[in-house]
């Protein structure tokens, strides 16, 4: 193949990727101050501190409460034994952890996060497929939401590829 072709292709991809990143930065709202979340997500601001588990045996101490926010301490990725290999475990400086979630009523639930961490929701060691992804409400501190159809039971929420050693998390009914 022609080396000039690859050079032009690489330059085009870099320029278009840079333009896309700039467009995404410009689309993000600039917040003068934090706004309260909508009523359905009011528990986001009612937080408690939780340390995530590094293995399945520690999940009982790392339980989330539906509709209540949690400031979650994470661990270096190398210290976490995930129940199932995350699609995006993160690099050597990433952080992650395991949390437990108990669902009492069937429905669509959403995981709300303060960062762009990767999440996997598991039941019986198998991943639950998400049905929707969206940014959180502007200026609330909720960066993203991911929705899942859930039945009553116990679930493992795996967090991975987080840049910081902590994250805010809340599981709530989808609105």
CATH of the domain at 119: 2.60.120
Q: Give the pLDDT confidence score for residue 17 in this predicted structure.
A: 47
Question: Three-state DSSP class for 91?
Answer: coil
**For residues 71 and 95, what is the distance between their CA atoms, to the nearest angstrom?**
14
* pLDDT, the chain, mean: 87
Alpha-carbon separation of residue 22 from 19, 106, 116 (angstroms)? 5, 40, 17
- Of 3 and 165, the one with more pLDDT: 165
Kindly state whether residues 87 and 105 are assigned to the same domain: yes
**For residues 161 and 167, what is the distance between their CA atoms, to the nearest angstrom?**
11
Kindly state whether residues 64 and 139 are assigned to the same domain: yes
Q: Give the pLDDT confidence score for residue 89 in this predicted structure.
A: 84
- Of 175 and 28, the one with more pLDDT: 175
Please count the structural domains in the chain: 2
**Contact between residue 85 and residue 135 where contact means Cβ atoms under 8 Å apart:** no
pLDDT in tens, 138-150: 999 999 999 999 9
Kindly state whether residues 146 and 67 are assigned to the same domain: yes
Domain that holds residue 1: 1-30
Kindly state whether residues 65 and 8 are assigned to the same domain: no
pLDDT-wise least confident of 30-34, 61-65, 119-123: 30-34
Q: Which residues contact 111 (CB under 8 A, 6 or more apart)?
A: 119, 121, 145, 146, 148, 157, 169, 170, 171
Q: Which residue has the tokens 């049905």?
A: 131
Kindly state whether residues 21 and 89 are assigned to the same domain: no
pLDDT in tens, 87-116: 888 888 999 999 999 999 999 999 999 999
Kindly state whether residues 43 and 92 are assigned to the same domain: yes
């Amino acid at each position: 193949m022609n080396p000039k072709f690859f050079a032009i292709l690489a330059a085009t991809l870099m320029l278009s990727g840079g333009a896309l990143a700039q467009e995404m930065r410009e689309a993000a709202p600039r917040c003068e101050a934090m706004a309260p979340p909508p009523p359905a997500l009011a528990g986001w601001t009612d937080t408690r501190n939780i340390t995530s588990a590094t293995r399945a045996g520690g999940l009982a101490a790392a339980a989330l409460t539906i509709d209540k926010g949690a400031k979650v301490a994470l661990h270096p990725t190398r210290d976490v034994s995930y129940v199932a290999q995350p699609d995006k475990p993160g690099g050597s400086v990433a952080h992650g952890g395991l949390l437990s979630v108990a669902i009492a009523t069937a429905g669509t639930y959403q995981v709300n996060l303060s960062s762009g961490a990767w999440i996997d929701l598991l039941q019986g060691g198998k991943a639950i497929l998400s049905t929707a992804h969206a940014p959180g409400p502007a200026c609330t501190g909720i960066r993203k939401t991911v929705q899942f159809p859930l039945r009553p039971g116990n679930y493992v929420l795996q967090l991975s590829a987080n840049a910081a050693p902590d994250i805010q998390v809340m599981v709530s009914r989808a609105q």
